[in-house]
Homo-oligomer: A and B are copies of this chain.
Amino acid sequence: MATISDVAREAGVSIATVSRVFNDSSLVSATTRRRVAAVATRLRYWPNGIARSLITSRTHTLGAFLPDLHGEFFSEVIHGVDLAARERGFHLLVSRASSGADELTATLRSIRGRVDGLIIMAPEIDADALRRVSGSARVVLVNPKRPIPGLGSISIANLAGARAVVLHLIGLGHRRIATIAGPERNTDARQRLEGYRLAMTESGLPAAPELVLHGDFSEHSGYEAAGALLSLNPRPTAVFIANDYMAVGALGAFHDAGLRVPEDVALAGFDDIPLARYLTPPLTTVHVDMLRLGQRAVERLLDAPRPGSHAESHELLGTTLAVRKSCGRNGDGARDRERPPAG
């Protein structure tokens, strides 16, 4: 590959001039510029990004760390991040963030200097560790356990979304509403459970302990939990399930038990994975705009005036209610907007 000196020599100028041409400096005469450009084209020269980064200490690259790279959920986040990053001329370094905080910090350390900013979706990350390894890169946390002072973060409005869908169920006339919550230590799961409780309480409905079951967000655990629900007496007439994958499992369990959805039992999920609308019946669920989540993360990372400003605050991404058939009635495509987020 040709270097800047090759071009300089061929064009009969100094490397400084070549550099100026490629950095759109106004300090180059039109004639020189043309000559240099011509030589560069002939030699197929293009500035080496690595060398550039070394001296400018800017890489025009963003790092994105997600718990998983597959699944309908995270692929949407990546897509959003890519859209926003590309719009700003940034490249994207992606990596899986799972398998423990230690491995994550090791990876983070190894890419220090290779990225200008970091989007991190890893609930278990430790605030101090993060500060130690992030170097000079800006950081935005996605869905952290709790906001970390001094760092920007963005989360899904879990509580408001869960509350809205449970109120929807209540509005449909249901009184005995169960929930299949996520893992007890998972933040999203907790907040969604809070939303369920809030909706029940403010509607004067008892949230009996027996109505609250826990799964691990997997389809299988949804199947199991739904089975347990069947033995309740009286049986709940509706179930709010903390994520769509578990809802898929629950749907299977009810189907296997010969129950009709929504006639015998109504079902609502959370996330609105693409699959949700293809289920039989199509699943009513809380729609989370993952693409937007990715975009917002980038925006907050790159569009902030400077470190130390308002950027380092917590932001909530609102949800909407995707009303389909699994709760019965009004499921003909109408869309309820959720109420303003309450947390």
Chain A: residues with CB nearer than 8 A to chain B? 1, 44, 46, 48-51, 53-54, 59, 61, 68-72, 74-76, 78-79, 82, 86, 91-96, 109-114, 132, 135-136, 248, 274-275, 278-280, 291
Contact = CB atoms under 8 A, between A and B. Distances in A.
A49 B1 contact: no
- Name, among A70, A71, A94, the residue most crowded by chain B CB atoms within 10 Å (CB to CB): A70
Q: Which of A75, A135, A274 has the most CB atoms of chain B within a 10 A radius of its CB? A: A75
A274 B72 contact: yes
Contacts of A72: 72, 75, 274
Given A92-B95, A135-B1, A278-B279, A59 B69 contact: no
A248 B278 contact: yes
Nearest to A46: B109
B92 A94 contact: yes
Contact of A70 (B54, B76, B92): B76
A329 to B, nearest CB: 21
Contacts of A71: 75
Contact of A79 (B59, B69, B93): B69
B54 A51 contact: yes
Given A49-B111, A50-B50, A94-B94, 18 more contacts: A1-B113, A1-B135, A46-B109, A46-B110, A50-B53, A69-B75, A69-B82, A70-B75, A70-B76, A72-B274, A74-B75, A78-B78, A82-B96, A91-B93, A91-B114, A93-B94, A248-B278, A274-B275
A318 to B, nearest CB: 21
Contacts of A279: 278
Contacts of A59: 50
Contacts of A93: 61, 91-94
Nearest to A64: B94
A111 B59 CA distance: 10
* Centre residue among A48, A49, A96 by max chain B CB count within 10 A: A49
Given A275-B278, A279-B278, A280-B280, A113 B75 contact: no
Nearest to A82: B69
A79 B46 CA distance: 31
A80 to B, nearest CB: 9
A82 to B, nearest CB: 5
A226 to B, nearest CB: 16
A76 B74 CA distance: 11
Contact of A46 (B53, B68, B112, B136): B112
Contact of A78 (B50, B69, B86): B69
A107 to B, nearest CB: 8
A86 to B, nearest CB: 7
Nearest to A74: B75
Contact of A50 (B54, B82, B96, B291): B54
Contacts of A68: 79
A127 B150 CA distance: 49
A91 B275 CA distance: 31
Given A70-B75, A92-B94, A95-B91, A112 B275 contact: no
A309 B127 CA distance: 48
Among A72, A92, A95, A114, the most chain B Cβ lie within 10 Å of the Cβ of A114
B114 A50 contact: yes
